[in-house]
């Protein structure tokens, strides 16, 4: 971002954040679009129980990955840039890929051998044993692919990262459609398509990687990377409890049918993470430089305002369109998810805010603060799960998640302020909050007599968001002038291309 030691202007800084976020969002959005495309197929050829089993299988796979230190891939950047020569860096990359592949093979063997007790303990149904075995069989592929994706990020190959993501997505979507609609394989069909898509993507990326990386394996390097990843994994385990603990507890009290509905609501609510994750991928790398600016206090406050504006708009829009969208896209048994999804949206809105503040923990060399936040919130979340789920089912699970992320947001903001006193643009943030609250209040105060009316009203309320901010004079003069300048340039380019100038 800086050139010749000179920090970029505010305008170029904000433009860089926008471009970086957009670049990283492509692969994330693609995955979400794939889920949306498959939603009508999955909800019509899978039962709510199938949906719940698949959701829990996904959580089991995630838990195994966390416990075995799949976060080791996050250590690649540190050890890669520690080396100066390309030959040494090749050893680091190949040691990581070979090491995680070996760990994955061992984990697969152990998991397949324990498939029966896992089926009885977690699913209370020995009939899911083949699904568990297939899940563990895919671990080596998943581990290797994650390591190779990490390599692409380190060497700054976003185009190849996105290409491989879409390759995997395309194979998965196509194969899922065929196996569900033609062969009616249900849960087995989804698992097979995921495994085959992973094999195709890993094969392609391995070929691409080892065209320039010399293969080799260094046990000392892999051991050091594994140790480096341990603190990172501790925080991830705490977040796993918050993200997925409800999926293990809810079926014990309400069954897999309600878990299926809740998992759909959760997937909808987590759509907001497409924006926050893309922003954080860029921001977490650039925050170190921004924090060193002479005007960092003002710049960080303005970045936070823009971030809140974007996340609020997307959150409100998601809540407004959720109900009519599900009325069109999913079968009737899944439509109750529309009522629960807004609570999940609220939870991940709070999560987005906390991620902004938590990035400063690393700036000030306090990574332990991140783990502490996660584990305190995880403890609160578990208490909420066991207290609220038996009585309120999926509603209790959703509100327990909100409490956990609210806890993280408050702690991260307070600790960040202690490390680095900051100020916020309170009056502008208040205007964003007022508009959001007003639109949601109107939405819930009005009934929806028909689908057409529901769609039209939701679209109108979404469109009203920027209009109301304009009425409240949210944009500053400099921002209006900048917007007019951008629109003017776009108009000039359009006229030039059309031959009118």
Helices 129-137 and 86-113 cross at an angle (nearest 10°) of 170
pLDDT of residue 488: 73
pLDDT of residue 2: 44
DSSP letters along 296-363, please? HHHHHHHHHHHHHHHHHHHHHHHHHHHHHHHHHHS-GGGTTHHHHHHHHHHHHHHHHHHHHHHHHHHH
pLDDT of residue 69: 56
pLDDT of residue 135: 92
pLDDT of residue 315: 94
pLDDT of residue 345: 94
Segments of the chain scoring below 50 in pLDDT: 1-5
pLDDT of residue 380: 92
pLDDT of residue 160: 86
pLDDT of residue 362: 67
Rg (CA), the chain: 24
pLDDT of residue 431: 95
Q: Are 168 and 190 in contact (CB under 8 A)?
A: no
Nearest to 350 by CA among 304, 403, 398, 283: 403
Which two three-digit tokens encode residue 485? 């300048």
pLDDT of residue 187: 93
pLDDT of residue 4: 44
Give the model confidence (pLDDT) of 34-78 as tens digits. 877 888 888 889 888 888 888 888 878 877 776 775 567 767 776
pLDDT of residue 500: 53
pLDDT of residue 8: 63
Q: Are 55 and 297 in contact (CB under 8 A)?
A: no
pTM of the model: 0.69
Rounded distance, CA 295 to CA 7, Å? 10
pLDDT of residue 241: 80
């Amino acid at each position: 971002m800086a050139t010749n030691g000179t920090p970029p202007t505010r305008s170029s800084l904000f433009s860089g954040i926008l471009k970086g976020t957009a670049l990283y969002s492509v692969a994330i959005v693609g995955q979400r679009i794939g889920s949306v495309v498959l939603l009508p197929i999955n909800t019509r050829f899978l039962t709510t129980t199938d949906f719940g089993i698949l959701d829990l299988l996904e959580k089991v796979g995630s838990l195994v990955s966390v416990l075995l230190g799949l976060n080791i891939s996050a250590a690649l950047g540190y050890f890669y840039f520690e080396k100066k020569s390309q030959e040494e860096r090749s050893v680091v990359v190949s040691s990581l890929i070979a090491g995680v592949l070996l760990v994955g093979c061992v984990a697969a063997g152990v998991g397949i051998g324990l498939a029966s007790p896992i089926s009885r303990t977690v699913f209370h149904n020995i009939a899911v044993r083949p699904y568990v075995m297939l899940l563990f069989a895919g671990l080596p592929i998943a581990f290797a692919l994650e390591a190779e994706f990490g390599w692409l990020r380190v060497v700054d190959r976003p185009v190849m990262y996105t290409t491989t993501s879409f390759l995997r997505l395309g194979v998965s979507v196509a194969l899922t459609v065929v196996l569900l609609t033609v062969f009616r394989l249900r849960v087995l069909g989804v698992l097979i398509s995921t495994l085959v898509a992973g094999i195709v993507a890993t094969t392609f990326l391995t070929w691409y990687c080892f065209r320039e990386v010399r293969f080799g394996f260094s046990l000392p390097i892999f051991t050091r990377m594994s140790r480096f990843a341990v603190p990172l994994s501790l925080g991830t385990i705490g977040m796993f409890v918050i993200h997925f603990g409800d999926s293990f507890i809810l079926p014990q009290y309400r069954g897999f049918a309600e878990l299926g509905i809740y998992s759909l609501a959760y997937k909808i609510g987590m759509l907001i993470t497409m924006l926050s994750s893309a922003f954080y991928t860029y921001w977490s790398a650039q925050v170190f430089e921004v924090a060193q600016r002479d005007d960092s206090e003002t710049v960080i406050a303005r970045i936070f305002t823009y971030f809140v504006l974007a996340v609020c708009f997307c959150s409100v829009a998601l809540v407004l369109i959720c109900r009519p969208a599900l009325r069109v896209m999913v079968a009737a048994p899944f439509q109750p998810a529309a009522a629960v999804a807004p609570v999940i949206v609220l939870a991940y809105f709070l999560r987005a805010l906390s991620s902004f503040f938590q990035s400063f923990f690393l700036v000030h060399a306090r990574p332990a603060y991140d783990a502490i936040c996660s584990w305190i919130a995880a403890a609160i979340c578990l208490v909420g799960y066991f207290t609220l789920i038996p009585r309120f089912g999926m509603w209790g699970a959703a509100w327990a998640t909100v409490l956990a992320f609210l806890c993280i947001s408050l702690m991260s903001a307070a600790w960040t302020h202690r490390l680095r006193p900051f100020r916020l643009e309170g009056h502008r943030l208040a205007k964003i909050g007022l508009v959001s609250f007003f639109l949601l209040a109107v939405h819930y105060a009005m009934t929806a007599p028909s689908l057409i009316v529901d769609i039209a009203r939701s679209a109108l309320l979404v469109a009203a968001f920027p209009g109301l901010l304009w009425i409240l004079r949210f944009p500053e003069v400099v921002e209006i002038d900048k917007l007019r300048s951008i629109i003017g340039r776009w108009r000039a380019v359009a006229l030039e291309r059309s031959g009118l100038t």
